Each structure stands twice: as C-alpha cells, then as structure tokens.
Chains A and B, each alone.
Chain A
Amino acid sequence: MVKMKRIKGLLKQQEMNTELELRRDKLFRVACSWCQDSHLADDLTQQAMVKALQNIASLRDREMLDAWLFRILSNCWKDHWRAQKETIDIEDAGLIGEESPEDQHYESQIVLRIRQAIAALPEKQRQVVTLVDLAELTYSEVSEALEIPIGTVMSRLCRARQTLRSSLVEFNKSHRNTEPQLRRVK
C-alpha cells in the first residue's frame, strides 16, 4: 500500500516535471524580458522551476498552473532585486543601448530596438505586457500571478502597449533617415 502510494507520487512528480519542462522556454523568455540578461534569466527560470517542484502540493487547481508558475517567477525576480538593491543601481544595470556586431543585421536591429523599448517600460507595465504577449497568459491568470485586480492588468497593459507603439514609431522615423531607400520585403 505504502509502495503504491510512493509510485503514484513519483509518477505525479514525473508528470509535473514534463509539464514544467514544456514551459521552460516561455518562463525564460519572460525572465529575459524582465532582466535583459540571458544568464540571469536562466537562473531565475531554474529557481522558479525548482520552487514549483518543491511546492507542488500547494497548487490546488491544475488549471492555474501557468498563473502559479509565473507568480513564482515574479517572486524570484523580486527576491533577486531585493538582494541586489544595495549593490546595483538600476541605471547601471546595462539594460539599454548596448550594441553588438549583429546590430548590423536588419532584423537584429528591430529585435534590439523592441527589446530596448520593453526594457524601458516601468517595471509593473513590463511585467503585465510580457505575461500577456510572451507567456500568453489570460488577464485572469496575470491577475492571479501578480496579485492585482483585472482592471489594473488592463490599464497597465494598455499603457505599456501605447508606450511601446510610440517608441517603435520613433525608431521607424529615425530608421528611415539612416537606411537606404530600396528594400525587398523578405
């Protein structure tokens, strides 16, 4: 009887491992958009997955797995900032404006600019827009993950997208003044 219970427990954990693994890239993308550092994003993702496995018993409703998982990720990110707050100034965190050789590439420029625009958003707006667009959470799941009302989710999302739009239009204007005129759309 005890053995059966253990086997069932192991199977459940294996199942959960698979579920979490399927979500790793989404967690990573969102973490990346928050911290702009792929190594740190990997660590945050790993931490969130380990915590999720350790606390799986506290997840009452499997339907809420995504919201629960991203809430853990959000807490890991907050913990990281609390730990770093005294040593790192956010202005020095290297979020914006770093150029690399691949910037020469047309699509890379767009990607870089969009990432900069996302990074420049206020933290609370950035969390909402990335959870909706990158993690593909519903408004209700975002509300659950960040522990804020749905109305707040909607207003932050709206402001975030407006700011992003303006920022990208600015980029479009400046881009037009520097790029050659003839382009084949690929």
Chain B
Amino acid sequence: MINKNDISNELLNAYLDNELDSEERAEIMAALEDDAVMARRLCELRNTKELTQFAYSMTHSSRSKGAYWKYGKQYTSLAIAATLFLTVGALVGWFAHDGMYVDSIVRAGQQQMVSDSSLTSLPLEAETKKVILHVDTGDAERLNAALDSAEDLLVTSAANGNPLELEIIANANGLDLLRVDTAFYADRISELSKKYDNLSILACSRAIKRLQDLGIKVKLVPEAGIAPSALDQIVHRLKQGWVYIKV
C-alpha cells in the first residue's frame, strides 16, 4: 500500500513510464483523483517527456533505410503537444505564478494590441480567469489535445485556488467532440463536467443544422448546451474579456 504522502516525483515518473505493477498503478490513480497538485505534477512530467521525444522525433540517420512514414502520426501528435505547451502552458503558468503574462492568446479588446508590444507585459490581476477554447476540427489528435488542455487548465486553477471559467465551443467538424454517435469522448466529457462545475460546453446550432440538412441525425452528449452561432459566441466572449484559444 503506497502512502499518499510517499508519492514522490520518482514514483510519478515510474507511473508515467509504465514501470509499476497494476496494484501500484491503481493506488496512484486513486491518489491522483483526490490530489489536484499531484495531478498537475504528473501533467508536467508527461509534457516534459513528450517534448523530449518531439525534439528528436524527425531525426534520422543518413544511413537509415527510410522510415519517415512510420513516424508521421507520432510526429503530428508530439507537435501538437509541443505547440500546446506554449499556449496552454502560458495559462497554466498564469495560475502557477503571480505576475506572469499571457500571450499566444487574444484578450478582450486586444485585437488592436497584437501589434502593441507595450501591452504584452500587462500583468494580470487575481480575478476570475475566463477562457474560451474553440474546436473546429474533427482530427482525433486535436480533439484529444483540446480535452488535455482543458483538463490541465481546470486542474491547475483548482490546485492553486485561482478561479477559472472555461467554455469549450465546437463548430464545423469540431462538433465530433460532442457527438455521441461519432466520437469516443462522451465519458471523458461527462467526467470533467461532473468534477468541474466551472466548465461549460457548447455546440454551434448552425453546424448542427448543416449536418441535419445533409440528413445526418445529430445526437450530442447531455452536457453540451447550444449556442446560436459559434462565431457570435466567441465575439461575445471576447467583448466580455475572455481569453480565446483555438485548437
């Protein structure tokens, strides 16, 4: 039996590297459910491992008998992980340290600030952070990455006691994230919704109608609400001061 207080980073690394037996894994998984700080430590370790792999994922010996195709899929998923490190990572850091700065994102009314470098160092105050995560692709890697990012943000904000409001909005092919008939994310979405009441999920009614017009019956996860238009919702949130991330 592993004592929760004995779960060191070494043990978390062993969990991440699949070095533990099933009993130890189950104990750590149970501890992770109750301890957001530990879950965040694990996220960070996983991120570091993926980045290390990403850094060399396209490196091949000049004497190699060409095996690039084998790595294509892996590269894509590692590239997404690396890119999200610099976007969601910014937000995770935002919760972790006071006085950190947000970039790679658009804040309300800052469209004009994109070219104004003086505003990139605008310190954020300890207020409720509001983030809208926009998904418009049906690519499984990206949908998984979107959920990973949402979870990272939720876990980190909870762990640090910083209030967060997170809204996921799906349109176009991104609707796959919320469709029970085409995707496999229903359990995870339900789990996240139950655990975090500061998470809301919306589907674009125009995207739903487009599918219905094609004769496709659309059934969404019960947690999903409907927004009249994803784009209007995004603009509305930006005006209200929300941070926008597109995955």
Contacts and interface: CB of A to CB of B under 8 A. Distances in A.
A182 B119 CA distance: 13
B89 interface: yes
Interface in A108-148: 110-111, 114-115, 118, 129-130, 132-134, 138-139
Secondary structure at chain A's binding surface: helix, strand, loop or mixed?
helix
Contacts of A176: 90, 101-104, 120
A25 B9 contact: no
Interface residues of A, number: 50
Contacts of B34: none
A2 to B, nearest CB: 33
A154 to B, nearest CB: 5
A181 B90 contact: no
A27 B62 CA distance: 12
A143 to B, nearest CB: 11
A175 interface: yes
A154 B52 contact: no
Interface stretch (B42-50, B153-161, B164-172, B195-203): B42-50
Interface stretch (B25-33, B63-71, B225-233): B63-71
Interface in A28-52: 28-29, 32-33, 38, 41-42, 45-46
Contacts of A169: 89, 93
A180 B56 CA distance: 26
A148 to B, nearest CB: 15
Interface stretch (B12-20, B204-212, B216-224): B12-20
B139 to A, nearest CB: 11
B131 interface: no
19 contacts: A21-B65, A24-B63, A38-B62, A107-B79, A107-B83, A114-B52, A130-B52, A139-B14, A139-B17, A154-B13, A157-B10, A168-B85, A172-B93, A175-B86, A179-B103, A180-B103, A181-B105, A183-B104, A185-B247
Given A110-B82, A133-B53, 15 more contacts: A21-B65, A24-B65, A110-B54, A110-B85, A111-B55, A115-B55, A115-B56, A134-B52, A158-B9, A165-B45, A172-B85, A172-B89, A177-B103, A179-B104, A183-B103
